[in-house]
Amino acid sequence: AGPERFPGGWLAAIGPFAILAAKTVYVYLHWDSIPARFPVHWSMSGPDRWVDRSAGSVYGALLFVAATTAVLVLSAFATIRASRRIAVTGAAADSEKTYRCVSAMCLLALAYASAILLPRIEGGTPPIPFTPVIFLLISAVYIALLIRFGQGGTRISGYHAVLGAPPVGDRTPDECWKLGMFYYNPEDPAVLVEKRFGIGWTLNFGSRWTWVIVPLLFLPLVIRIFTK
């Protein structure tokens, strides 16, 4: 299959980082206006973790959000450009393309929400648990849309009723699925493949690029640990 365009192009991809850069400049110029203590984590009942104002806590919080945003944007990009194709022509391919595009757009929406809503260095407590509610709503829409459009294998299995052909499935070799959840196939050039159970994507642990991506997934956690 030919390459697909990232939703919104590079401008959409760099948007969250532009927002975080503007926040960083604002923090630098308005340092004295930052509260002596500000929240860095919220539950449904409100802020549940606060830190004292310091260069490490303030800029560390911004760096943590930047790393989390980078993971989300990278995941969206990989969904479009590094995922396994099941069908490459016809109605099944068009439906599959829509599924990938919707997935990437929802991941990008989470990236923008992270950049805009986090961290709340200005302090204060909203009247409702605004931040977790927004993330839960986006995640719920994401899951609902994935269920609505369906995994590629499911679509092709249903598509056979129109063509009169037997169901195809996802075309990945059974022996490459370990414990039914982990996909290891060095012969498959895709980095991402659709899950056989549940919805969404999983990594191809047989791809060398996976072992570049996996450490990046833990980068936000490492930053959080060392910038408390």
Instruction: Reduce the DSSP state of residue 204 to 3 states and report it.
Output: strand
Tokens of 204: 């191809």
Provide the β-strand partners of residue 39. 50
Size of the chain, expressed as the number of residues it contains: 228
pLDDT at 203: 95
Least confident range of 64-68, 143-147, 202-206: 143-147
Hey, which bits of the chain come out as E strands?
A: 37-43, 46-52, 177-178, 182-183, 192-194, 201-203
Highest average pLDDT, of 9-18, 133-142, 191-200, comes from 9-18
Provide the β-strand partners of residue 177. 183
Q: How far, in Å, CA of 115 to CA of 119, rounded?
A: 8
Q: How far, in Å, CA of 187 to CA of 113, rounded?
A: 37
pLDDT at 127: 44
Q: Compute the average pLDDT of residues 81-103.
A: 84
pLDDT at 226: 81
> From residue 38, how far is each of 15, 97, 120, 174, 216 by CA, in Å?
25, 43, 7, 51, 27
> What is this structure's pTM?
0.82
Nearest to 75 by CA among 45, 55, 100: 100
Q: How far, in Å, CA of 33 to CA of 14, rounded?
A: 28
Sequence letter at residue 150? G
Tokens of 131: 């931040």
Q: How far, in Å, CA of 10 to CA of 65, rounded?
A: 20
pLDDT at 128: 47
> Higher pLDDT residue, 198 or 29?
29
Q: How far, in Å, CA of 21 to CA of 54, rounded?
A: 18
CB atoms within 10 A of CB 104: 25
Tokens of 67: 């790393």
Nearest to 76 by CA among 171, 2, 4: 4
Do 41 and 139 contact (CB within 8 A), yes or no? no
